[in-house]
Amino acid sequence: MFSIVWEMMSKGMDSFSLDFITGLPERSGREGGILPILVSTFLVVLLALAWVFPPALGCALFLSDYRNSSRPLQLVRRVVSVALDGLTAVPSIVFGIIGNAIFCRFFGFGYSILAGALTLGFMIWPYMTRAFEETFASVPKDIYLQSLSLGFSSYTYFRKIIFVPCLPGMVLGIVLALSRALAETSALLFTSGYSDRMPESLLDSGRVLSIHILDLAMNVTGGDQNSYASGLVLVAFLLILNSIFSGAFVFCKRFLK
Amino acid sequence: MIFNAYKIASGIFAILAIAVILCLLLVESFKALSVVPLSKFVTGSWSPSSGDYNLLPMAVGGLAASLGAIFLVAPISIFSALAMNGLIPRAIRLVVRKLFEMMSGIPSVIFGLWGLGYLVPFISRMAPPGASLLAASLVLSLMVLPSAILLVAQAIDDVPREHMEASLALAMSLYNRIRVVILPFTWTRIFSILCLQFARTLGETMAVVMVAGNIPAFPTSVFDPIRTLTGHIALEMPYAEGLHRSSLMLSGLMLCLPSLVLFYLARRFLERVRSI
Amino acid sequence: MNLDIKKEFLFFGSSFFGRVAKRTAYVIPCLVSLSLSLPAHSKDTEKKKLNLSGSSTIAPLASELAKAFEKKFPESRVDVQSGGSARGLADARSGLSDIGMVSRDLTETEADLQGTPIAYDGIAMIVHKDNPILDLNDKQVVAIYTGKTTNWKELGGSNQEITVVNKAEGRSTLELFLQFFVLKNSDIKAKMIVGENEQAIKFVGGNKWAIGYVSVGTAEYASKVSKTIRTVRLNGVDANLQNVKNKTYPLRRTLNFVNVKPASETAQKFLSFVKDPAAIKIIEDQFFVPL
């Protein structure tokens, strides 16, 4: 078990020795930095998170709402749950092909950051909703029942009472969706494309970091070094993100005492 | 009022999304389904130019790779999680958990690269070609292992403290403690976690294409190259047209359904646990 | 115990930190929408846009050419997608792309498209650097790939099984290989199928007894710089770019840009840009042979 970890680390050390200063605008695939790609990745992921946040939150609230337990609504809830399972189940290339067909061709966006963000949103939606659901479920039952008995509306309950305490959990859900989004390759290859230049509008094509890693390692002659470096950037970013948030949570808990 | 409408609307949106996706898949695969007799999909070879659309080797290959991965992941994750809970000193525990959290965020491309650069040559020295079912299973298991361990460890942690303390007070052996205290509380959850990871491995494309060999044939040993359904779609879709493309869409549809069932099962198991 | 959790829960909501969190929760969406509205131009009608798609071999080269082109003509914008030569042809025909990238010569059935050669390339047979075999001729390659020769010792090498590496369908490299050696893909008995050039190089570099084929420039780079593989002399001719240039290497190919007959103005500008000295330099830099 630990030998596996060790092997991963040794490969990681390998990339360390091949590290490059990244961040300069790119010249060719093998040289320069990855700034345009970082920008594209940032735009695609942020846009995806931004647009899918309201529906994901709405679904989570809908699914964890015990107020209205009328038969038809319960049925709808079950269907929605299965629908979310379905969204998780669709393999990423299929998402890519369908995203291509719908957003690139039918809507006419072409290979663009917009198409990529729209497709990516659907892919991360179930992860976000499930995480939110868990947070809402962890609210102590008494608070919920008390608010019911006091006659609070669902909205007041959410805004005034549980929103802030649930915030850490919700943020965790967003971070989870973010890590899932950053790891995505195949779907975005077909929707936001391959172009490695600085995107100037949301309708421009721009490759994301994971595609860059893939292309440098698999297609560009001599691109290995930068491929590992880009991989390092991605992992480092995730590491920093996770550390910030777990640090913040620890701080919260400490503060509460 | 608006709030309620917003909630229900989001739910309906989700239903619409998956419905549209499934419909599109059906429509696109319809051509293949209507023209090619069903037997052609499970017999013969894969050769679109001559009208052969046997998807079975790919389906079997993908299934074999994922099953192999889960067979590896199940015992390792359970033991590791138990170790994290009991055997490992607390200081190292935090480090190990951070390590696993980091590893669970690594994109699949990197696992594929590692596999191609280190694992495949290693296997090839034992039995060529190296890019094989074994390589695919190993890479897949490495990808899901960190999150599996974390989730199982959490499941074990969630065993009520009183029971754990009672077992310690009674000086139960580790084996007994696992059998009597931990397992009954956690087995449904562990099963659902494994279902989840299995479904994840079914959907994995890039890493598998790099290490599995991609020969569309039935594997006769773990060292034989295989092609998974996802890899198949990834390799052929960019240039497929007409009937060829339609049959690829069909295989895409075939991929969705078992995953959906798995996720549904996993969730139902989890819900059962929560209602206890 | 329940009461404590509840108290903490509610206390957090009204505490200072909770209020700060509430305010930040409002600010973040505003920032997000602000940053997103900045690059949200509508259609790029101001810039003359050009779309390329096709061969993954040409894609890195095309990206670099695109950047140089944009530098020279700042009012244009060129986007490059990959997807394989067959995709390039399909996209050029359907109008999805203005120019398709095809890494082989056009056939008669493709005469409706206009092809502009941009560079020369070749296909080199590669083996692991420790493999003692230096030469192969046509017959031997065919025998290896059709499974008639299965052991290196039959060719004078070590007593080891040959691991045959083939390329995925739809790739020009495969089509050229089949055309040159007069084979059908179903004749080939391979142990591994790769998708991209570098995948073949990495695999052969890690497997002592494998044989594969990749672009000559890529192979030359890998054998000289990363030193993991070695190219094999085909019919006595060294597989390097020099021999592709002076036309002595047999497995040659032309990299083409294809487009539907009346090309748009920007497309024509781009096609003539390929002959620019700056473009020539880029082509060489990407390990191809300029015209």
Give mean pLDDT, residues C126-138: 86
pLDDT in tens, A46-95: 999 999 999 998 898 888 877 666 778 888 888 999 999 999 889 888 89
Residue C200 is which amino acid? A
Strand partners, A251: none
> Alpha carbon of C53 to those of A171, A195, B242, C272: distances in Å?
39, 10, 20, 18
The yes-or-no verdict on residue A164 having pLDDT over 80 is no
Give mean pLDDT, residues C53-60: 86
Count of CB atoms within 10 A of residue B37's CB?
Answer: 9
Note the pLDDT of residue B137: 92
Of all residues in chain C, the percent with pLDDT exceeding 70 is 84
Which portions of chain B are predicted below pLDDT 50? 276
Residue B140 is which amino acid? L
Note the pLDDT of residue C43: 44
CB B108 within 8 A of CB C170: no
B73–chain C nearest CA distance, Å = 26
Q: CA-nearest residue of chain B to A212?
A: B109
Structure tokens at C206: 């890690």
Strand partners, C116: C257
Residue partners of C161: CB distance under 8 A and separation at least 6: B128, C150, C151, C152, C209
Structure tokens at C275: 């002959």
Distance CA B28, CA B35 (A): 13
Concatenating the DSSP letter of every residue in C120-154 gives: EEEEEEEEETT----EE-HHHHHHHHTTS--BGGG
Q: Calculate helix-pair angle for C265-273, C59-72, nearest 10 degrees.
A: 110
Give which of C200, C21, C50, C37 is closest to C128, Cα–Cα: C200
Structure tokens at B7: 């909630």
Distance CA B79, CA B163 (A): 20
Note the pLDDT of residue C225: 75
Category of C83 on φ-ψ map: left (φ > 0), alpha (ψ -120 to 50) or beta:
left
Alpha helical stretches, state H, A64-183: 71-89, 92-99, 113-137, 141-149, 154-156, 163-182
Confidence class for position C13, pLDDT limits 50, 70, 90: very low
Distance CA C24, CA A208 (A): 28
Give which of A185, A237, C125, A221 is closest to A229, Cα–Cα: A237
* CA dihedral sign, ordered C188, C192, C194, C199: negative
Note the pLDDT of residue A17: 45
Q: What average pLDDT is seen over chain A?
A: 79
Category of A91 on φ-ψ map: left (φ > 0), alpha (ψ -120 to 50) or beta:
beta
CB C78 within 8 A of CB C52: yes
Instruction: Say if C16 is an interface residue toward chain A (CB within 8 Å).
Output: no
A164–chain B nearest CA distance, Å = 18
Please state whether beta strands C233-234 and C135-136 pair in parallel, antiparallel, or not at all (unpaired). parallel
Residue with tokens 């020009």: C172
The yes-or-no verdict on residue C42 having pLDDT over 50 is no
Strand partners, C212: C126
CB pairs under 8 A between A and C: 132
Select the more confidently predicted residue: B69 or C231: B69
- Range with the poorest average pLDDT among B232-246, C25-39, C103-117: C25-39
Can you point out the beta strands (E) in C129-276?
Answer: 135-136, 163-167, 192-194, 210-215, 229-231, 233-234, 252-260
Distance CA B54, CA B39 (A): 8
- Range with the poorest average pLDDT among A162-176, B260-274, C11-25: C11-25
Please state whether beta strands C192-194 and C135-136 pair in parallel, antiparallel, or not at all (unpaired). unpaired
Distance CA B176, CA B76 (A): 19
CB C291 within 8 A of CB C277: no
Task: Determine the Cα angle at A53 with ends A51 and A54, to 5°.
Answer: 90
- Give percent helix, percent strand, percent coil of chain B, each to the nearest 5: 80, 0, 20
Residue C287 is which amino acid? F
Note the pLDDT of residue A255: 66
Of all residues in chain A, the percent with pLDDT exceeding 90 is 12
CB-closest option in B21, B80, B264 to A90: B21
Note the pLDDT of residue B65: 92
CB B136 within 8 A of CB B58: no
Please state whether beta strands C252-260 and C163-167 pair in parallel, antiparallel, or not at all (unpaired). unpaired
Give which of A94, A109, A105, A111 is closest to A187, Cα–Cα: A94
Note the pLDDT of residue C30: 53
Q: Which residues in chain B are contacts of A55 at CB distance < 8 A?
A: 10, 13-14
The yes-or-no verdict on residue C12 having pLDDT over 60 is no
pLDDT in tens, C165-218: 998 887 888 888 888 888 888 888 888 888 888 888 888 888 888 899 988 888
Residue A134 is which amino acid? E
The helix/strand/coil state of C104 is coil
Residue partners of A13: CB distance under 8 A and separation at least 6: none
Are C221 and A221 a contacting pair at CB < 8 A? yes
- Range with the poorest average pLDDT among A143-157, B54-68, C248-262: A143-157
List the 184-243 stretch of A: residues with Cβ below 8 A of B.
185-186, 210, 213-214, 217-218, 227, 231, 234-235, 238-239, 242
Residue A188 is which amino acid? L
CB-closest option in B3, B9, B267 to A155: B3
Note the pLDDT of residue A53: 92
Instruction: Say if C221 is an interface residue toward chain A (CB within 8 Å).
Output: yes
Are B239 and C86 a contacting pair at CB < 8 A? yes
The helix/strand/coil state of C237 is strand
Category of A102 on φ-ψ map: left (φ > 0), alpha (ψ -120 to 50) or beta:
alpha
Give mean pLDDT, residues C219-230: 80
> Alpha carbon of B85 to those of B88, B164, B166, B176, C251: distances in Å?
7, 11, 16, 15, 61
Distance CA C86, CA C101 (A): 9
If DSSP states are collapsed to H, E and C, what string results for C31-44? HHHHHHHCCCCCCC
Note the pLDDT of residue C38: 47
Instruction: Say if C62 is an interface residue toward chain A (CB within 8 Å).
Output: no
C interface test, pick of A44, A161, A166, A195 with most C CB neighbours within 10 Å: A195
Are C79 and A140 a contacting pair at CB < 8 A? no
Confidence class for position A8, pLDDT limits 50, 70, 90: low
Confidence class for position A120, pLDDT limits 50, 70, 90: very high
Phi/psi for A109 (5° steps) reads -75, -20
Instruction: Say if A62 is an interface residue toward chain B (CB within 8 Å).
Output: yes
Category of C235 on φ-ψ map: left (φ > 0), alpha (ψ -120 to 50) or beta:
left
Select the more confidently predicted residue: C153 or C34: C153
Residue B219: cis peptide before it, omega within 30 degrees of 0: no
C67–chain B nearest CA distance, Å = 25
CB C214 within 8 A of CB C171: no
Count of CB atoms within 10 A of residue C113's CB?
Answer: 18
* CA dihedral sign, ordered B265, B269, B274, B275: positive
Helices then strands, counting H and E runs in chain A, come out as: 11, 0
Assessment of whether the complete model's pTM goes beyond 0.80:
yes
Distance CA C171, CA C169 (A): 5
CB A132 within 8 A of CB A60: yes
List the 101-160 stretch of C: residues with Cβ below 8 A of B.
none
The helix/strand/coil state of C290 is strand
Are A85 and B263 a contacting pair at CB < 8 A? yes
Select the more confidently predicted residue: B194 or C38: B194
Residue C275 is which amino acid? K
Distance CA C145, CA C167 (A): 12
Note the pLDDT of residue A121: 93
